[in-house]
Chains A and B, each alone.
Chain A
Amino acid sequence: MKKTGVLILVTGLLAASVYIMRNKKAGNRNLEPQTSSMMKVGPSGLGQAPDFSLTDLDEKNVKLLDLRGKVVVLNFWATWCPPCREEIPDLIQLHNKYAQQGLIVLGVSLDEEGVEGVKSFAKKNNISYPIVMGNQTLAGAYGGIRAIPATFIINREGKIIEKIVGGRGLKEFEESVKPAL
């Protein structure tokens, strides 16, 4: 009995470490979003923003709920996507310019090749706002992201007031966040 218990324990440990290694290899250390408490947004992309808890590039936890009271510009993107890359300088400006007024840009990377590539990309491009690693479940919760960049403007009450698909410039972002500020 004891022997079996030890075996089970060892197997369990092994499984856990394999799990961690595999995820480390893939660079995918995100915690799954709390789907149980998550509401899904419909095809319009509007409604209450589904909450999530994901790790950022420095492995810090970011919970959307913690940002309640701020205007959140939630930007789904990937390093391989030219229009996403094109709007990054504008997002940086937006983030810096309106931080004082309680706005935060939060990038959600849909890169599948791991956090390292995203990290070096963010560094190279001086991205000043936090980025979390996204996944299919989260994309699904936000109405199914088929094309990127896809940007959700979330007001201080946690409601999505606009969904934007496709790259934009600073001026257009300013127009979009204005009603929430």
Chain B
Amino acid sequence: MNDTVLQKSNRLINEKSPYLLQHAHNPVEWYPWGEEAFERARKENKPILLSIGYSTCHWCHVMEKESFSNPEIAAMMNERLISIKIDREERPDIDKVYMTAVTAMTGSGGWPLNVFLTPDLKPFFGGTYFPPGDRWGRSGWTNLVQRISETWANPEGYRKLIESAEGLSQHLQEYLNNSAQGEDLETNLADEAFRSLELVHDPDHGGFGGAPKFPMPVYHNFLQTYYARNKGSSNGKKALQISLLTLRSMAQGGIYDQIGGGFHRYSTDAEWRIPHFEKMLYDNAQLAVNYLNAYAISRDTLFERTARQTLDYLLRDMTHPKGGFYSAEDADSLPPELARKAPDQTYEHKSEGAFYLWGYQEIFDALGKESGEIFSYRYGVGEKGNAKEDPLGEFTNKNIFYVAHSVQEAADKLSKTAAQIESSLDDSRNEIFQLRSLRPRPQLDDKILTSWNGLAISAFAKAYQILADEKYLSAAQSAARFVWAEIYDSANRQLFRRWRDNDRKVKAVSDDYAFMAQGFLDLYEADFNAEWLMSAVQLTEDLNRRFFDAERGGFFMTEAGHDPNLLVRSKEDYDNVEPSASSIACMNLLRLAQMTGREDFSKTAEQTLKYFSRTMKEQPRAMPQMIVALDFWMNKPYQIIILGNKNASDTNALLREIRSRWIPNKILLLIDSQKTQELLSKSFPFLAELKRHQGKATAYICVNQACQLPITDAAGVAGILGNLL
């Protein structure tokens, strides 16, 4: 069983998704989603098991190991079911439909998601993780499969299952098609959203609600925008304080990889100490933006350092040679001590966080006594490990590094100067990093997803805007070029969702278009290459044409005719860990309307805002990213247009002055040549009238329906922005 090479493979072997490939040697005869499986189910009239997960999902691994690798269980499944595996990251559309179904049936959902369907794909039963045998009074997987197939074989039972599948599908259609549609846009939606976040904010440790705590990048986007709008009010200040406290606590917690940079998925405790160790591209890309903006607002170097280390982690470990970014790193890996003893061990011996955990003695062996003491004090290393909670016994005698003491505290305690402590810590982190890189690595999910790459391009573009570090700009540019060349079919204006091994597959969903358009827009505002702006416009047009609900507003997740086997065409109405496509699309439309004068763009945005207004009103925390767009729509943004040569010192002086300030609601255009001016004037005629003042780089700044007279010096820009902000 351990020797996968000798094992027979199933149909998943032809797939590219690392998650599907993890199941390619199961004795279960898995099918990928597709007609071959559906046809066999219809022909043999067997129920379908639809099993959905993703490569870094811990309980997906557990179930794969316990049940799907078990020959007896597999034999039973093969006899009685048609089994289909799906990587939810490749097919979020299918996941959305069946997750909604399971949540409706059982009151909760999660992954792995296991749903039983009729041969025409209607769900009748489902759940998440099941142990192989009955456990804790809960039905085990074996028992469940048995009961389902028996009911299916019994005429009366069969009739009932079909009936309930029909009924549920009906409900699903109605539910997913009818998210609360509103009409009016009220000005106090942002205040309500702020109050509702303040209510669940943890004033001691930051974050929202109790354990487990998830980083919620969209909350920070909202809070920081709300602060910019309400700087003078106590609520505005509170919003900033909540965001900064949360970001600070996270950066100092175990959820942050103190050695290698980057954030783990989430914290199991309220103090951000004990994470689940997987690292996802979407978290790290969005959090980098949160930290960059926190730095722009506060100039606190902790935020700058965290943003840099996080982006450097992506550059070091998550970048494809062609420029795109990989999806994720798993939580589990082979513990180093096991690897030394028996290097050919497989998954069964992998354990959570093994790559990141250190024993007390290991630290001292690596660093010696003096440095070891400093390091241990700073990062909370304990002789018997430092995990306060360890329900699964994974962290016995192991340490998860977090910032337990400040540098100054360490200096006082160990009678050294702060500089000595800093320097010792730098060396120690480096040493630990080097040693760690010899350990077996967690599995890398190296597929390239378009939507997440869009988020990452935004992060690198913003890093360049705020930190002026060229390496981040070139990372954003390479990724953007990669996506445009490899994942977008420009002849047919078709974007794909996934790329791996030179193979692009799965028609893109609305997130892919929206997040990538945002990436191009942010990249334009970084290097002012007008081609990026045109790409953003093009993707936005594609999105509007294929995904927009012209009757009611909002964007569907899939385009019409995307997959005839999809039960419902739904709209995401929740800004979760990843924002909804509609929220990001709405902001793109508003920004592009300001940059290009396209009235159809602002109308589409307005219709979308109205469509979601009821959700925003009734559930003030549901769509914080949509409220960010609403703020942009209600308060005219800063229009800043610079005429000057790219990279010339007078142009840069003006740009530096603008970028050094936190102005969430702005659009920035640079006109560096006759050509760009003509190109951009086509869609926005007034640009044709702009001239450099006395031949110098000139800034035109318009806000609140008024334009400042042309400004040519940084002090003038500072004066105006200082007065207006």
A111 touches B689 (CB 8 A): yes
CB nearest to B707 among chain A residues: A81
Q: How far is the CB of B75 from chain A (nearest CB, A)?
A: 71
Q: How far is the CB of A54 from chain B (nearest CB, A)?
A: 18
A84 within 8 A of B: yes
27 contacts between A and B (CB under 8 A): A78-B689, A78-B707, A80-B689, A80-B690, A80-B691, A81-B702, A82-B686, A83-B702, A83-B705, A83-B706, A83-B707, A86-B705, A110-B709, A112-B693, A121-B689, A145-B709, A146-B708, A147-B707, A147-B708, A147-B709, A148-B707, A148-B709, A149-B706, A149-B707, A150-B706, A165-B706, A166-B704
What's the dominant secondary structure at chain B's contact region?
mixed
B700 within 8 A of A: yes
Q: How far is the CB of B717 from chain A (nearest CB, A)?
A: 13
Q: When chains A and B are docked, how far (Å) is the Cα of A31 from the Cα of B687?
A: 29
Q: When chains A and B are docked, how far (Å) is the Cα of A149 from the Cα of B704?
A: 11
Partner of B686, one of A81, A113, A150, A165: A81
Q: Per-residue CB proximity of B702-718 to A under 8 Å, as 1/0?
A: 10111111000000000
What's the dominant secondary structure at chain A's contact region?
loop
B639 within 8 A of A: yes
CB nearest to A81 among chain B residues: B707
Q: When chains A and B are docked, how far (Å) is the Cα of A117 from the Cα of B690?
A: 11
- The B-contacting residues of A in range 49-100, CB under 8 angstroms, are 78-86
A167 touches B689 (CB 8 A): no
Q: Per-residue CB proximity of B473-514 to A under 8 Å, as 1/0?
A: 000000000000000000000000000000000000000000
Residues of A within 8 A of B693 (CB): 112
16 more CB-based (< 8 A) A-B contacts, given A113-B689, A113-B691, A166-B704:
A79-B686, A80-B689, A80-B690, A80-B707, A82-B639, A82-B702, A83-B705, A83-B706, A83-B707, A85-B686, A112-B691, A145-B709, A147-B706, A147-B709, A165-B706, A166-B705
Interface residue tally on A, bucketed by range: 20 to 34
Q: When chains A and B are docked, how far (Å) is the Cα of A168 from the Cα of B705?
A: 8
4 closest residue pairs by CB, A with B: A80-B689, A166-B705, A167-B705, A166-B706
Q: How far is the CB of A56 from chain B (nearest CB, A)?
A: 20
Q: How far is the CB of B202 from chain A (nearest CB, A)?
A: 42
Q: How far is the CB of B12 from chain A (nearest CB, A)?
A: 56
- Give the size of the chain B interface in residues (CB under 8 angstroms): 16
CB nearest to A147 among chain B residues: B706
Q: When chains A and B are docked, how far (Å) is the Cα of A112 from the Cα of B710?
A: 10
Partner of A146, one of B639, B691, B702, B709: B709
Q: When chains A and B are docked, how far (Å) is the Cα of A41 from the Cα of B639?
A: 29
Q: When chains A and B are docked, how far (Å) is the Cα of A121 from the Cα of B702?
A: 20
Q: How far is the CB of A138 from chain B (nearest CB, A)?
A: 13
Residues of B within 8 A of A121 (CB): 689
Residues of A within 8 A of B720 (CB): 146
CB nearest to A117 among chain B residues: B689
Residues of B within 8 A of A81 (CB): 686, 702, 707
Residues of A within 8 A of B639 (CB): 82
Q: When chains A and B are docked, how far (Å) is the Cα of A82 from the Cα of B599?
A: 14
Q: How far is the CB of B698 from chain A (nearest CB, A)?
A: 10
Q: Per-residue CB proximity of A128-146 to B under 8 Å, as 1/0?
A: 0000000000000000011
Q: When chains A and B are docked, how far (Å) is the Cα of A42 from the Cα of B180?
A: 54
Q: How far is the CB of B74 from chain A (nearest CB, A)?
A: 66
Residues of A within 8 A of B708 (CB): 146-147
B689 touches A79 (CB 8 A): yes
Chain B CB within 10 Å — which of A79, A86, A145 has the most? A79
Q: When chains A and B are docked, how far (Å) is the Cα of A112 from the Cα of B687?
A: 15
CB nearest to B693 among chain A residues: A112
Q: When chains A and B are docked, how far (Å) is the Cα of A136 from the Cα of B704?
A: 23
Q: How far is the CB of B669 from chain A (nearest CB, A)?
A: 12
CB nearest to A124 among chain B residues: B685
CB nearest to A144 among chain B residues: B709
Residues of A within 8 A of B700 (CB): 80
